[in-house]
Amino acid sequence: MKRNNQIHFYLSDKEYEKLHKRITKSGLSLSAYMRHLIHDKVPQDKPPKEYFDTLKELRFIGRNINQIALVANSTGIIDSKRYDEQYRELLRLILNLIDAAEMPRDIVLVDDIGKQSGIIRGISKNTKEEQSVDI
């Protein structure tokens, strides 16, 4: 999608500092952060380095499991159905981990109190976890 429209607006020092902190925590650019908000999404904070290390290890384990299965399958000493179930479960866990740590949350204004206090809650579709953000 071509983006050729610019928006300029002013913030107080306090508003700018608050926005800058959130953008820095998310690891996104200002433009990407604002686009998430425009699409009713609450950007997540950037996960710590350990998260990416763990994800890398899980993917490595998944590849090893797949290689072991190929050898076991060719020799006929594997329960293919059980292996497939376990492998799908590993992939599901990896995707849930990614969703919980990286994917932006939908913005849901919960009630009149939430609207008045300026609280937006984001809820993950997969993990059903809630994240509150003061606005």
d(CA 87, CA 35): 35
In a domain, 125, yes or no: yes
What residue has token string 């610019």? 6
Taking alpha carbons only, the member of 20, 62, 28 closest to residue 45 is: 28
pLDDT-based confidence at 132, cuts 50/70/90?
very low
- Percentage of the chain with pLDDT > 70? 79
Q: What is the rounded average pLDDT for all residues in the chain?
A: 79
Domain count, the chain: 2
Higher-confidence residue: 20 or 103?
Answer: 20
Residue 12 lies in a domain: no
Same domain, 112 and 93: no
Is residue 77 a part of any domain in this protein?
yes
Say if 5 falls within a structural domain: no
Q: Are residues 109 and 85 in the same domain?
A: no
For 58-129, where are the E strands, in sequence order? 105-108, 119-123
Q: Is it the case that residue 26 has pLDDT exceeding 60?
A: yes
In a domain, 3, yes or no: no
pLDDT for res 134: 44
| 32 part of a folded domain | no
pLDDT at 124: 47
Residue 58's pLDDT band (cuts 50, 70, 90): confident
The answer to the question of residue 28 being in a domain is: no
More confident residue, 45 or 117: 45
Task: Name the residue range of residue 115's domain.
Answer: 104-135
The predicted model gives 29-33 an average pLDDT of 94
Residues linked to residue 97 through DSSP beta bridges, in sequence order: none
Q: Kindly state whether residues 76 and 116 are assigned to the same domain.
A: no
Asked if the structure places residue 127 within a domain, the reply is yes
